Amino acid sequence: MPNKNTIWQQLERLAKQSISVPNLIKNEPNRLDHFSVDLDGFYFDASKTRTSQQTLDSLITYAKSCNLEDWRSKMFAGERINNTEDRAVLHTALRASNPRKEVAKSLAHMKRFVQQTHQEKRIKTIVNIGIGGSDLGPRMVYEALKSTQQKLNVYYVSNIDGHDLQAVLKQCEADKTLFIIASKTFTTIETLTNAETAKKWLVNKLGQNAVKDHFVALSTNSQAAQEFGIDADNIFPFEDWVGGRFSLWSSIGLSLSLGLGFDVFEELLHGAENMDQHFLNAPLEQNIPVLMGLIGFWHISFLNIHALACLPYDQRLEFLPLWLQQLDMESNGKEIDRNGDKVDYITGPYIYGQPGTNGQHAFYQHIHQSPLLTFCEFIGVIEPNHPYKNQHEILLANLVGQSLALTNGQEASKDEPYKQFNGSRPHSVLLLPSLSPFHLGQLLATYEHKIFVQGILWNLNSFDQWGVELGKTLAKKVLDDKNNETDVAAKELVKRLKL
Ligand code: F6P
């Protein structure tokens, strides 16, 4: 097992010691200095995790033994680190301040289209049809920023469930609607089926000729998009080195650019690039994505804390946990390593989350008192964009209160044992000065790099997703072959579901 070197074994020994967050705070007086990073106001604090200074030092040594810095250079240089698909991983090139030729061309195409659409004022509603990475990223950003920046109304349709599309079409006037078909491969059944239904709806209302003015495509597969009926000029291509769940920064960001303005999209890219530079240049000990990745890895693989809660204390980040689920779980939810061997340690966490304080009234009971531990990642936004100052104070006081409760817990009296809170529940905090496009870009890139770091520590290829294929294939087989199903329970389901 290449990863289980002597440092790994040392980490295993450290994990056997009893670790208490309050004791770490008591015994390590400069702890906050070593476990927090302030990047011009973008602040990360991991001082309340079950990580001692000695453990952190060993984790950094372990990262070096995995050649983390070399892998990072390989990714940024465009080496084909996605080995099972033989592809480079270059989403960082999409936000580089000196973009490569094809990126500059794509950005210029998007900008022209966005400006023209805003000037003409013909289109009032955008419908983005896509799923997974072709939906979650742009949807999350649009929802996060629309309260301050909105220019056009954007709806997102992802599910093959016809209720999803139906609900949106009810809101649309055909002659004022633009459909964006977002699909990297242009083969995804959900997206193509929704797109066909939307096309029929439009043709029914405006005739066949209207398709060219009301449909655009974002895809690496221009030929399939043209076969669907989309004008070549209205296809916004991107390269196969953009992974689906990392594609928000490519032309997949067109819906949010139309909805919020191209300048917003550019600011988002600048924020992400700022984090790319930090990730590339800051020493490992003061590098936010590296620290997040190492500390998460430690809690998952050594302390057996396999659940991760994404807890943004900002309603505008409602869709962040959903975006993060795909980003992290599709990247690192794997048991075969880069060498083709089965790992004997736990890899990517399972993730859930909701904005604070809603989550507090749903699953925080479990977070505070369940024997099954969750690692919590709190996110706070310092400046709100509403005038209700007292509400914002209550919101953020709740974030601090949760952190205190998770750290120190509470001793219960003998007659009320159910009031016992053990404390020492590990969590980190990320603070953004405001929810500007720039800071949001920083936040999202932080998560991308954290997940990259963890993939290296676990010796995984974080950039393929073979685990989603089998279910898709079998759904198709069920449709093609419903009368010949041999699995007894599945046959019964086919009958009861009237397939
Ligand atoms: O099913 C998984 C997946 O391949 C994701 O990785 C991807 O984001 C999503 O499907 C959508 O794929 P596409 O953009 O090709 O339609």
Please report where in the chains the tokens 């090139």 appear, as a residue.
Answer: 93
Q: What confidence tens digit (pLDDT) does each residue in 231-289 have?
A: 999 999 999 999 999 999 999 999 999 999 999 999 999 999 999 999 999 999 999 99
The answer to whether the beta carbons of residues 214 and 122 sit under 8 Å apart is no
Confidence of residue 4 (pLDDT cuts 50, 70, 90): confident
Percent of the chain with pLDDT strictly greater than 90: 97
- Per DSSP, the residues of 459-493 read T--TT--GGGHHHHHHHHHHHHTGGG--SHHHHHH
Res. 2: pLDDT tops 70: no
Q: What number does the ligand 1 atom closest to the CA of 185 have? A: 15
Q: Which of 190, 267, 330, 377 does the annotation list as catalytic?
A: 330
Separation of CA 145 and ligand 1 centre (Å): 24
pTM of the model as a whole = 0.97
Q: What confidence tens digit (pLDDT) does each residue in 60-96 have?
A: 999 999 999 999 999 999 999 999 999 999 999 999 9
The answer to whether the beta carbons of residues 238 and 252 sit under 8 Å apart is yes
Say which amino acid occupies 256: L
Q: Verify whether ligand 1 is closer than 6 Å to residue 479 (CB atom).
A: no
Q: Verify whether ligand 1 is closer than 6 Å to residue 321 (CB atom).
A: no
Beta-bridge partner residues of 44? 37, 430
Q: Verify whether ligand 1 is closer than 6 Å to residue 55 (CB atom).
A: no
Q: Which of 335, 459, 468, 333 shows the shortest CA–CA distance to 81?
A: 459
Separation between Cα atoms, residue 338 and residue 197, nearest integer Å: 41
Mean of the per-residue pLDDT values of the chain:
97
At residue 353, the pLDDT reads 98
Question: Which of the listed residues 82, 128, 134 should we mutate to test ligand 1's pocket, taking the one with most ligand atoms within 8 A of CB?
Answer: 134
Separation between Cα atoms, residue 109 and residue 86, nearest integer Å: 28
Q: What number does the ligand 1 atom closest to the CA of 133 have? A: 8
Separation between Cα atoms, residue 398 and residue 204, nearest integer Å: 52
Q: What number does the ligand 1 atom closest to the CA of 131 have? A: 11
Percent of the chain with pLDDT strictly greater than 70: 99
The answer to whether the beta carbons of residues 402 and 356 sit under 8 Å apart is yes
- 344: Cα separation from own chain's centroid: 26
- Per DSSP, the residues of 251-270 read GGGHHHHHHH-HHHHHHHHH
Separation of CA 406 and ligand 1 centre (Å): 37
Neighbours of 389 (CB within 10 A): 9
At residue 3, the pLDDT reads 58
Q: What confidence tens digit (pLDDT) does each residue in 392-433 have?
A: 999 999 999 999 999 999 999 999 999 999 999 999 999 999
Q: Which of 200, 472, 476, 477 does the annotation list as catalytic?
A: 472
Average pLDDT value for residue range 169-192: 97
At residue 264, the pLDDT reads 97
Question: Which of the listed residues 135, 136, 159, 188 should we mutate to test ligand 1's pocket, taking the one with most ligand atoms within 8 A of CB?
Answer: 188
Q: Whose CA is nearest to atom 1 of ligand 1?
A: 468
Q: What number does the ligand 1 atom closest to the CA of 188 have? A: 16
Q: Verify whether ligand 1 is closer than 6 Å to residue 356 (CB atom).
A: no
Q: What confidence tens digit (pLDDT) does each residue in 307-318 have?
A: 999 999 999 999
Q: What number does the ligand 1 atom closest to the CA of 134 have? A: 14
Res. 106: pLDDT tops 80: yes
Separation of CA 158 and ligand 1 centre (Å): 11
Q: Verify whether ligand 1 is closer than 6 Å to residue 184 (CB atom).
A: yes
Say which amino acid occupies 245: R
Confidence of residue 148 (pLDDT cuts 50, 70, 90): confident
Separation between Cα atoms, residue 255 and residue 158, nearest integer Å: 14
3-state secondary structure of 350: strand
Separation of CA 249 and ligand 1 centre (Å): 15
82 phi, psi to nearest 5 deg? -85, 85
Please say if 330 is a catalytic residue: yes
Q: Whose CA is nearest to atom 8 of ligand 1?
A: 133
Give strand ranges (E) for 93-138. Answer: 125-129
Beta-bridge partner residues of 421? 410
At residue 1, the pLDDT reads 42
List all residues 6 or more positions away from 62 whose beta carbon is below 8 Å from its beta carbon. 5, 7, 8, 11, 294, 457
Separation between Cα atoms, residue 324 and residue 337, nearest integer Å: 22
Establish whether the linkage from the previous residue to 357 is cis, with ω within 30° of 0. Answer: yes
Q: Verify whether ligand 1 is closer than 6 Å to residue 475 (CB atom).
A: no
Q: Which of 15, 68, 45 shows the shortest CA–CA distance to 280?
A: 68
